[in-house]
């Protein structure tokens, strides 16, 4: 029983990652401060840093297309502010 449940739950679970970054034309003062600090630490060939957010999402769904649509909906409805942020969805193996 326990083993069966484990197998099923493994089968039905899909994992995604969502990376949220500020759009190119939006100022990223936090990224700038991190960049300046790294330059001060001697990372002289550092060119540019943009700070963002990362989400790991587990979906109880076997069908990858349905699950991806769900994650897309999560991004649009809450995770991302579409005025200032871009996002990328990746499936995690």
Partner 1 sequence: MKSSVIVFPGSNCDRDIAVALEKLQFKNKMVWHKETSLPKSDLIVIPGGFSYGDYLRSGAIAGKSLIIDEVIKAANSGCLVLGICNGFQILTETGLLKGTLLRNKNLRFINRDVNIKVLNNQTKFSSKYKSNQILKINIAHNEGNYFTNSKHLDQLKKDNLIAFKYCDKNGNVNESSNPNGALENIAGIYNEKRNILGMMPHPERMVDNIISNTDGINLFSGLIN
> Residue numbers of the site for partner 1 (CB under 8 A)?
26-27, 29-30, 33, 77-79, 81, 83-84
Complex with partner 1: residue 34 or 89, whichever CB lies closer:
34
Q: Smallest distance from the beta carbon of 2 to partner 1, in angstroms?
A: 35
Complex with partner 1: residue 65 or 78, whichever CB lies closer:
78
Query: Whole-angstrom Cα distance, residue 29 to residue 37?
Result: 12
Q: Smallest distance from the beta carbon of 29 to partner 1, in angstroms?
A: 5
Q: Smallest distance from the beta carbon of 53 to partner 1, in angstroms?
A: 8
Beta carbons within 8 Å of 28's beta carbon, 6+ residues apart: 22, 50, 51
């Amino acid at each position: 029983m326990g083993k069966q449940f484990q197998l099923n739950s493994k089968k039905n679970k899909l994992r995604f990652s969502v990376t949220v970054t500020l759009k190119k034309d939006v100022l990223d003062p936090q990224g700038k401060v991190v960049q300046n600090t790294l330059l001060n630490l001697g990372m002289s060939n550092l060119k540019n840093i943009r700070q963002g957010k990362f989400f790991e999402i587990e979906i109880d769904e076997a069908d990858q297309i349905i699950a991806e649509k769900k994650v897309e909906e999560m991004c649009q409805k809450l995770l991302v502010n579409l005025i200032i942020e871009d996002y990328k969805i990746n499936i995690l193996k």
